Amino acid sequence: MAANLNARITRTMVALTLIASTIVYLGLMAYFFFIYEWLYPGPETEAVWRTADTVMVLLLLAFGLGTASGIGWRLARRIVAPLKSVAGAARQIASGDFSARADLPQGSFREAADLLRDFNLMAERLERAETELSYSNSAIAHELRTPLTILRGRLQGLSDGVFDPSPQIYGRLIAHVDHLAAIVEELRTLALSNAGRLELTCRPVDLADEVEAALAALEADLAAAGITLTRALAPAPTKADPLRLRQIFVAVLDNCRRYAPQSQVHVETLVEGDEVVFRCSDTGPGLSAESRARAFERFWRADESRGRSLGGSGLGLPIVRAIARAHGGEARILPRQGQGLTVEIRLPQTPVLNEKTDD
């Protein structure tokens, strides 16, 4: 177990003082009782301070200070070694190598161990954020390029007379524009959340009422997907933005429609302690432990081709977490016994949030 730095420095300073004092004291005692008589065997006429006395005192002081300095130097090396490790890793990260980590030297103090652990955690998050940013940039380009290519092709066809103008063609064009607008709005929501600028218009609400509204909006779509729906909506009052709440409930239920068709979905709301809870459980294919850990990353899909063929942008769950955190809560995915998974959203009953009051 790493030692406490403050206590170790205090003990070392006390020990250095005692060692230096002991060396000087014992050296003087040995000098005056033994060496002095050997140097000056004649009868003592008067007590005078001789040059040898000065030399001996200086030698004893030099030996004591040298011993204390050696011990202090070793202590300083143990203090500086972790700092050098952190500095080296920081230089690598500053140069663009986000995989750099600081190594903990053997025998380091507890404070150094805490520093290196926090630094490596920060470096790990920076590396993950850089990877996510790089992936997001390519994913955004892909998500926008496909509908833009289709739009351009259809518009070019209309311009060249290849397609005859019809309500069906215009309807499809409008659908692609709506898809683009939805992606842009989702990206805007995530950007505001990451910047801590996602404003909420909050008022007293009941989670059960908002879930009922979301279920009513998606009931026909869920039935068409062969989903058997059950609910246990107990009163769960809190203060939140009802539009944002409905947005995340619709996103969770729409995920069930897309990725867990022909399954049983159970939705519940309840109060646990000082939190209100929304849970949505399905009996679909579920996700592996690694996939559950990555499910809230932007544009991530458990199956890339399957996700795109079903129309998902890969932004639904990240927005769910962003809105939950803006309310001072959290969203997470829980495994189920057998098949399926559970999405759980927890919100405080008295949240501290970026609130914009109603006019």
Contact 278, 337 (CB under 8 A): no
Higher pLDDT, 259 or 347: 347
Does the structure show a pLDDT above 60 at 305?
Answer: no
Closest CA to 187 of 356, 320, 319: 319
Q: Tell me: pLDDT of 270 over 90.
A: yes
Within this chain, do residues 189 and 207 fall inside the same structural domain, yes or no? Answer: no
Judge if 73 and 99 occupy the same domain.
Answer: yes
What pLDDT is recorded for position 178?
80
Examine residue 359 and state whether it is found in any structural domain, yes or no: no
What phi and psi, each to the nearest 5 degrees, are found at residue 281? -115, 140
Q: Is residue 155 part of a domain?
A: yes
In a domain, 268, yes or no: yes
If one counts the domains in the chain, the total is 3
Kindly tell me if the per-residue pLDDT of 268 is higher than 90: yes
One domain, residues 176 and 275: no
In this prediction the pTM is 0.59
Same domain, 80 and 172: no
Domain-embedded: residue 94 = yes
Average confidence (pLDDT) over 143-168: 82
**Span 303-330, average pLDDT:** 71
Assign residue 241 the CATH number of its domain: 3.30.565.10
Q: Looking at the structure, tell me whether residues 114 and 147 fall in a common domain.
A: no
- The domain boundary, picked from 194, 222, 248, lies at 194
Same domain, 301 and 217: yes
Residues 52-107 have pLDDT tens digits of 666 666 676 676 666 666 766 776 777 777 888 888 888 888 888 888 888 888 77
- Residue 147 belongs to a domain: yes
**Which pLDDT score, from 0 to 100, does residue 309 have?**
46
Considering the domain architecture, whether residues 120 and 224 belong to the same structural domain is answered as no
In one-letter notation, the amino acid at residue 289 is A
- CATH code of the domain covering residue 187: 1.10.287
CA atoms of 79 and 274, how far apart (whole Å): 44
User: 82 and 118 in one domain?
Assistant: yes
From 166, 194, 222, give the residue that closes a domain. Answer: 194
Domain extent for 211: 203-348
CA distance 320 to 84: 41
**One domain for residues 109 and 147:** no
CB 71 within 8 Å of CB 51: no
Confidence category of residue 352, pLDDT binned at 50, 70, 90: low
Torsion, Cα of 109, 113, 115, 120 (10° steps): 160
Show the DSSP H helices in the chain as ranges: 5-30, 36-39, 51-94, 110-160, 167-194, 207-224, 242-259, 289-294, 304-309, 316-326
pLDDT above 80 (res 154):
yes
What band does 136 get if pLDDT is binned at 50, 70 and 90? low
What is the three-class DSSP state of 282?
A: strand
Say if residue 150 is in the same domain as residue 86: no
Average pLDDT over residues 347-351: 80
Check residue 31 and give its pLDDT.
64
Across residues 321-338, what is the average pLDDT? Answer: 85
186 and 308 fall within a common domain:
no
- Domain membership flag for residue 357: no
Residues 222 and 328 in one domain: yes
Confirm whether 325 is domain-assigned: yes
Distances (CA, A) of 85 to 93, 128, 235: 12, 21, 54
- pLDDT at residue 121 is higher than 70: yes
Q: Among the three residues 124, 143, 164, which one is the final residue of a domain in this structure?
A: 124
Residue 176: its pLDDT value, please? Answer: 78
Task: Evaluate whether residue 233 is within a structural domain.
Answer: yes
pLDDT of residue 26: 72
On whether the CB atoms of residues 259 and 222 are closer than 8 A, the answer is no
